[in-house]
Amino acid sequence: MSASNFINTIAPIVVADMERTGILASLTLAQACLESGFGSSNLAKNANNLFGMKGTYNGKSYNGYRKYNSWSESISDHSGLFLRQSRYKNLIDCTDYKMACRYVYQAGYAEDPNYTSKLISTIQKYKLDQYDNKASTAATKTSVKSVTIIDQVLKYMNQQLGKAYSQANRFGANSFDCSSFIYRAFQSAGVNLVHKDNGRAVTTSSEEVYAKGFSLLYPSSYTKVGKNLPSPSNILSSIGVRSGDIIFYNTDSGTSRSNKITHVAAVNTDGGIIHAANKTKGVIKGSISYNTTKICAVIRYIESGSSASAGATGGTASSSSSTSTTANKPITSTVNYTTGQSMQKRDNLLLNYSGSVTKDTVELIILSKSQIFLPMLKDEITWETERKGSPGILKFTVVKDNGISVQEGDPVRLIINGIKIFYGFVFTKKRDKDHHIQVTAYDQLRYFKNKDTYVYANKRADEVISMIANDFRLNVGSLENTAYKIASKIEDNKTLFDIIQGALDDTLVSKSRMYVLYDDFGKLTLKGISKMKLDLLIDEETGENFTYSTSIDEQTYNKIKLSFENKEKGVREIYIAQHGANMNSWGVLQHYEKIDNNMNGNVKANALLALLNQKTRNLTINNALGDWRVRGGSLIAVRLSLGDLVTNNYMLVEKVKHLYEDDEHYMNLTLRGGEFIA
């Protein structure tokens, strides 16, 4: 077989594999070409093994190497290796084939020191990178369907290939039994399997057949489950099963369990099944006609806006009305209609690279089009952060030369004296007549300026942050458990900043705990305020100039009024907490807010009053000696005479601006003392 014929034969399979796994088609194609001699190797001909994978596959081997039924199985198993082993994690969703070729060698896939260059040369010679864009090219011709629940379920399942089977530890980190494998896969996609009739969790195969939100494809009713047990070949072809369908088997013919569900599996993307088989094999893929077992039932998950072609529906309602008018219904679910190409995961090369590329004190690096630039800088570097509601901002000026490129969206990182200061992305460029480029970059918190609508229940604030970060594909570091579960929340047409702050405010009111959300060198981090304390003292010597003010003008309230619309009773319920003495002194300063439920109306009103019924004390310090550890939300010790009082305690950093130039580092601070205000 010629090189071109080989590539044309496996390319469609590899592109489909890329859609499923996120591994670049060009990399898989290049490896298959090199490892198999374009399909001419002994292994490729006699074992359908394109990559020299050793061991056994579903019990089959050939001279110590895995034997497959087809090249498609070989490609899928090869990608499964990358999905299973964490050392290959940088390959997943990598969009630069050159970087992917480096990653696979660095992860230890091959010992040949020229392996990376051989892969890149093969990709370029045969223009294999064209296949990396096949999916996006098709997407421009038609509307792109959003990633479905089943897509997510099957991706999770295929990532578990090779993991252990254990009934005793069926919910362990790396082990499953057949039914927990199904349950946890749907759970990973945000679907908790519950019984269609009683709403209780279903975690065993005999229960999962009754899961809510599924259509029963076989048999025709739930009362017939297990009554007539055809073999797989007799029934599955007539049903027309598809990826994501769940098949319930009986594997104990001739025993007391001969008419009961004893095993469950899912139909995989390749038309076979994927399941947690047994203690010997663990999680594997197999034939659709699993051994000689019998079929008890087949169910299909019903996505929003889709329908099943056969069987009874579990937990869904049908209309018996023949009237032509349609009444408005309450919104209970969301259907996405998406056009355009989906977002690829951003290249984290600059973030993940742990080495140093220069011996200079200041290491400011820009990654543009897979090239690293160390620009010549002019004037000062500034870095600003605030305690809440604002991203970190880095500003610097670059001396333009022919070799440098700075584009919007390019990653930027700043390290000074070995200290990691900033990781973010270029958002704004300004150019002057002398060809100096003024650059403004923001950290990941910039994306929290986006607006959206979220409805959630029984989540902690840290879980809300994690949920939003996952939706917007942001990198997450350590998020402290905020302990307080928010019963329910509807956040409509709000910035992500406001949605997150709402969850943190609820936590503050209920638990009297304040948290700070920030970007720690490219990773979202949430810490309790007590963990933001620094061993740093600001006094007359370290702070060049300061301004101190007290106020009741902002964030001071002596009357709290909360309103709840009780639609069941047709009553607006008002909860008021107030402080008479301060109202006499300051007049009425009222905070008004609508609340979603009345369960803790009085408690919340009193908690807000305790928090907000006080003067705010603000301190601005300019040109203090710089300390890179200080960011918005830090607690620092302040010892200053402020006129009406002498402060000698910790104060909260509301805002800090670091200024660095010619090895001199200063910072301007806005601090808040007294009782901390959210």
**Residue with the larger pLDDT of the pair 135 and 500:** 500
How confident is residue 113, by pLDDT bands cut at 50, 70 and 90?
confident
Please compute the mean of the pLDDT values over residues 359-376 and round it to a whole number.
84
Confidence (pLDDT) at 336: 61
Bridge partners, 571 (sequence order): 566
Tens-digit pLDDT profile for residues 21-41:
889 999 999 999 999 999 999
**Predicted confidence (pLDDT) per residue in 442-482, tens digit:** 999 999 999 998 888 889 999 999 999 988 989 999 999 99
Task: Name the pLDDT band for 323 (thresholds 50, 70, 90).
Answer: very low
Summary mean pLDDT of the chain: 83
- How is residue 24 written in tokens? 């670049």
Q: Taking residues 219-240, what's their average pLDDT?
A: 73
pLDDT at 305 over 60: no
pLDDT tens-digit series, residues 498-531: 999 999 988 988 888 999 999 999 999 999 999 9
The answer, yes or no, to whether residue 107 has pLDDT greater than 90, is: no
- pLDDT tier at 148 (50, 70, 90 boundaries)? confident
User: Which residue has tokens 């304390």?
Assistant: 533
Phi-psi region of 652 (alpha: psi -120 to 50; beta: other; left: phi over 0): beta
pLDDT the model gives residue 677: 36
Instruction: Give pTM, 2 decimals.
Output: 0.51
Is residue 313 over pLDDT 50?
Answer: no
Over range 216-236, report the average pLDDT: 76
In degrees and rounded to multiples of 5, residue 523 shows phi and psi of -135, 125
Question: Quick one: pLDDT at residue 145?
Answer: 40
pLDDT tens sequence across 644-657: 666 778 889 999 99
Look at the block and give the residue holding tokens 């000074």: 416
596-632: per-residue pLDDT in tens? Answer: 665 578 888 888 898 889 888 778 889 999 999 999 9
Q: Cis bond leading into 232, ω under 30°? A: no
**pLDDT value at residue 599:** 55
**CA–CA distance, 666 with 381 (Å, rounded to integer):** 11
133-137, 389-393, 473-477: least confidently modelled range: 133-137
Model confidence at 287: pLDDT above 60: yes
**pLDDT winner (highest mean) among 137-141, 171-175, 420-424:** 420-424
567 vs 381, 573, 600, CA distance in Å?
55, 10, 17
* CA 319/CA 672 separation, integer angstroms: 60
Confidence label for 234 from pLDDT (cuts 50, 70 and 90) = low
Please give the pLDDT value at position 303. 67
Question: 522: alpha, beta or left, given left = phi > 0 and alpha = psi -120 to 50?
Answer: left
Taking only the tens place, the pLDDT of each residue in 592-602 is 988 866 557 88
Range among 70-79, 121-130, 252-261, 642-651 rated most confident: 121-130
pLDDT at 330: 45
Query: In the 8-state DSSP scheme, what is residue 194?
Result: B
Q: Does pLDDT of 224 surpass 50?
A: yes
Percent with pLDDT over 90 in the chain: 43
Confidence of residue 160 (pLDDT cuts 50, 70, 90): very high
Least confident of 186-195, 220-229, 317-326: 317-326
Three-state DSSP state, 122: helix
| pLDDT at res. 311 | 47
All domains of the chain, ordered by start, with CATH? 3-139 (1.10.530.10), 150-313 (3.90.1720.10), 356-442 (2.30.300.10), 446-530 (3.55.50.30), 539-555+614-678 (2.40.30)
Provide the pLDDT for residue 467. Answer: 93
Tell me the one-letter amino acid at 136. Answer: S
